[in-house]
Structure 1
Amino acid sequence: MEEAVSEERLSRLVREQLELIGEDPDREGLVRTPARVASALEFLTRGYGQTVEEVIGTAIFEEPHDSMVIVKDIEVYSLCEHHMLPFFGKAHIAYIPNGRIVGISKFPRIVDVFARRLQLQERLTEQIAQAIEDALNPQGVGVVVEAIHLCMMMRGVEKQNSKTITSAVRGLFRRDHRTREEFLRLTRSD
């Protein structure tokens, strides 16, 4: 019931926004727009209703593996908290287990827990790294996020070819430059 009330209220607010910018929300092309936008916004911010613990579930396993594990090119879609415009790109995650591993399908789910919120790329990168560190207590974690921000492309400076790259490193990835360099080399685009 809460979701239906929330979506209905969002829909009314979108209708009001359309009116404020000088549009007619009753014209044929816009009649269903408030409901569609409300539904899309609920989907794009569903991370507020998720936790890392829920998405990992029981997928942590005891395993003596202690070499680097990398999951590359995880699609990232988020909304900039400053303009509520999309930014999108790829996340690359690596960790060195310390007796525990996690099912690799959980990495994209962890990314989405944080990406599906109003977000800053810098915070998103740190939150992913911290979540993996908290869940696994690995020897080290490295996260790189590469993204294109529509708030830089469609408004303001209007720079079409800019890309933002952020990184977060913990443990061995911070202390050992060889480990960090291996991670960065392996995550570079081909």
Structure 2
Amino acid sequence: MLMDAITDPRLVNEAPDDNRPTREEAMAAVRTLLQWAGDNPDREGLIDTPKRVVEAYREFFAGYEMDPAAELSRTFEDVQGYDDIVMLRDIDLESHCEHHMVPILGRAHIAYMPTNRVVGISKIARVVEIFGKRLQTQETMTAQIADCITEALRPAGVAVLLDAKHQCMTTRGVHHPNVATITTQFTGVFKTDRELKDRFLRLAGYN
């Protein structure tokens, strides 16, 4: 799905970034890392590795070329009197730690209280996906998702909970594979109404 989005002219920057290295330069950098790791980039199993890594990075970090606000630009006002929260639970979260460039894997739970408009539910998942396809800290990503939904939809409130494991902690460093990181951001009525916040947490399975 993301590879299709990369070629979508609505989501790709028209003008290339002059500071971005060429594909060939990126592949040469991968060769250097392979040599630094102690292997031979010219051996049979590694000959095509630089190409594969560059293609993988293009997919991993496709979010830099997409606008999350654009995903929320088409809204609907006819909700037949619906006046309660809209919530998506268990959205797959895939990102990369900006400190070590290793995966962050987990789930996102998001809700908003609409005022006079709603958005297609898949668009909320796309916002998570786009911010995830960038180098991130979980704290920053949590705030970015909440801010984007708030700015685009002007709801009465937004609730975001991210629950993820960081491979910079599970596969290196302290090596604690079972530790999950939970971050939250509450705005508007989710911040001021304790009962509403508790309902969100209960629906997400955290209360």
- AA matched with 1:24: N
- AA matched with 1:99: N
Structure showing the higher strand proportion among its residues: 1
1:174 aligns with 2:173: no
Unaligned runs of 5+ in 2: 1-14
Deviations 1:75-115 (CA, angstroms, capped at 9, x unpaired): 01000000000011000000110011000010111001211
TM-score normalised by structure 2 residue count: 0.86
Equivalent-residue separation in structure 2 for 1:8 and 1:55 (angstroms): 32
Q: Is the 8 A contact 1:7 1:39 kept in 2?
A: no
Equivalent-residue separation in structure 2 for 1:156 and 1:26 (angstroms): 30
CA separation of 1:55 and 1:7: change in aligned 2, threshold 3 A: farther
- AA matched with 1:7: R
Query: 2:116 maps to which residue?
Result: 99
Query: 2:28 maps to which residue?
Result: 12
- AA matched with 1:111: V
Equivalent-residue separation in structure 2 for 1:125 and 1:164 (angstroms): 12
Q: Is the 8 A contact 1:91 1:146 kept in 2?
A: yes
TM-score normalised by structure 1 residue count: 0.94
| CA-atom RMSD in angstroms | 1.9
Q: Is the 8 A contact 2:115 2:156 kept in 1?
A: yes
Q: 2:102 aligns with which of 85, 104, 129?
A: 85
What displacement does 1:128 show? 0.5
Q: Is the 8 A contact 1:66 1:99 kept in 2?
A: no
1:28 aligns with 2:17: no
Per mean C-alpha deviation after superposition, the further-off stretch among 49-58 and 154-163 is 49-58
Equivalent-residue separation in structure 1 for 2:59 and 2:124 (angstroms): 19
Query: 2:12 maps to which residue?
Result: none
Unaligned runs of 5+ in 1: none
Query: 1:150 maps to which residue?
Result: 167
Query: 1:164 maps to which residue?
Result: 181
Q: Is the 8 A contact 1:142 1:168 kept in 2?
A: yes
Query: 2:200 maps to which residue?
Result: 183
- AA matched with 2:168: C
Which residues in structure 2 correspond to 1:49-128 (within 5 Å)? 49-58=65-74, 60-63=75-78, 64-128=81-145
Per mean C-alpha deviation after superposition, the further-off stretch among 44-53 and 116-125 is 44-53
Q: Is the 8 A contact 2:73 2:152 kept in 1?
A: no
Aligned length: 189
Q: Is the 8 A contact 2:159 2:187 kept in 1?
A: yes
Which residues in structure 2 correspond to 1:134-145 (within 5 Å)? 134-145=151-162
Q: 2:64 aligns with which of 33, 45, 48?
A: 48
Deviations 1:112-157 (CA, angstroms, capped at 9, x unpaired): 1211000000111111011100110001100000001111011110
Q: Secondary structure at the match of 1:42?
A: helix
What displacement does 1:2 show? 5.3
- AA matched with 2:157: G
Sequence identity (%):
43
